[in-house]
């Protein structure tokens, strides 16, 4: 993302002379962030039998905890939801719901599949369906996938996990209970802490949710106009030096 141009007085004695103020903002899509970046966020949620109904309700709260932080709109954040077990089921595609209230209601109404754990099939579905234009994805929007699992996948995940990253999707992996760390690392965009998370207890996934909020809401890419900002600082320094020497007339 490029820089934002504004203006400010360079020195107090010459208010008519202004230099561009170049800011290198982050690109938030959080509530109240005022940013302009678009994000297509899809949750892949494990609905296997081992999760158990009471924990599945905690997973729903985890999803809505993250939804609460987003600026949901046609131009900013869109949310999709997929549940997987022995098969894959799209709960709702990107762009179906246009408010946080409607998204959260749909999450709460999601029924529990209660079968196996086919994480590989879910990742393939994400690639082939969830992030396509026909399913509501927007060209140019950052694609973010959050994969939630409580156990080892019963199918092969490596190829689909690699393809998701090769396509530029920003992938996060959240594991609970019997989730396998190697699989979480394989799914995550970066095999480092803050891109994959693990907790032994479903009751603590809200803490992971708080960490994910920060990672999803802030654009990590550095500003592309660093050299221009340095130039601005150099010019301002020169003008201030000239002022001290009374070379420039006072206004």
Left if phi > 0, otherwise alpha if psi is -120 to 50, otherwise beta: which for 193? beta
Residues 157 and 232 placed together within one structural domain of the fold: no
Residues 11 and 116 placed together within one structural domain of the fold: no
pLDDT surpasses 70 at 184: yes
Mention every residue, 6+ apart, whose C-beta is less than 8 A from residue 209: 62, 65, 66
The pLDDT, as a whole number, for residue 193 is 65
Give a yes or no: residue 186 inside a domain. Answer: yes
Number of domains in the chain: 2
Residues 84 and 192 placed together within one structural domain of the fold: yes
Give a yes or no: residue 33 inside a domain. Answer: no
Q: Could you tell me the CATH number of the domain that includes residue 165? A: 3.40.50.410
Give a yes or no: residue 137 inside a domain. Answer: yes
pTM of the model: 0.75
How would you class 47 by CB atoms within 10 Å of its CB: exposed for 0-12, middle for 13-18, buried for 19 or more? buried
Residues 128 and 238 placed together within one structural domain of the fold: no
The pLDDT, as a whole number, for residue 32 is 53
Rounded mean pLDDT, 89-117: 97
Residues 63 and 164 placed together within one structural domain of the fold: yes
Share of the chain above pLDDT 70, in %: 71
Residues 17 and 85 placed together within one structural domain of the fold: no
Residues 66 and 169 placed together within one structural domain of the fold: yes
The pLDDT, as a whole number, for residue 28 is 47
Residues 117 and 161 placed together within one structural domain of the fold: yes
Q: Which domain holds residue 233?
A: 4-24+227-244
Give a yes or no: residue 165 inside a domain. Answer: yes
Give a yes or no: residue 29 inside a domain. Answer: no
């Amino acid at each position: 993302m490029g820089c934002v141009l504004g203006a400010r007085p360079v020195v107090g004695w010459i208010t008519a002379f202004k230099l561009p103020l170049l800011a290198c903002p982050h690109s938030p899509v959080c509530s109240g962030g005022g940013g302009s970046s678009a994000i297509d966020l899809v949750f892949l949620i494990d609905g296997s039998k081992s999760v158990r109904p009471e924990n599945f309700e905690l997973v729903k709260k985890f999803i809505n905890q993250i939804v609460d932080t987003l600026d949901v709109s046609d131009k900013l954040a869109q949310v999709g939801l997929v549940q997987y077990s022995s098969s894959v089921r799209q709960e709702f595609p990107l762009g179906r719901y246009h408010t946080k209230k409607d998204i959260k209601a749909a999450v709460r109404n999601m029924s529990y599949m209660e079968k196996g754990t086919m994480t590989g099939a879910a990742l393939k579905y994400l690639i082939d369906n969830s992030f396509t234009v026909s399913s509501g994805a927007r060209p140019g929007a950052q694609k973010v996938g959050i994969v939630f699992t409580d156990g080892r996948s019963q199918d092969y995940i490596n190829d689909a996990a690699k393809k998701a990253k090769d396509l530029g999707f920003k992938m996060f992996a959240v594991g609970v209970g019997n989730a396998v760390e190697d699989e979480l690392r394989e799914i995550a965009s970066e095999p480092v802490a803050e891109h994959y998370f693990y907790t032994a207890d479903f009751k603590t996934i809200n803490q992971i949710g708080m960490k994910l909020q920060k990672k999803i809401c802030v654009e990590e890419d550095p500003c592309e106009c660093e050299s221009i900002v340095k130039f601005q600082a150099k010019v301002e320094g020169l003008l201030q030096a000239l002022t001290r020497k009374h070379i420039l007339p006072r206004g």
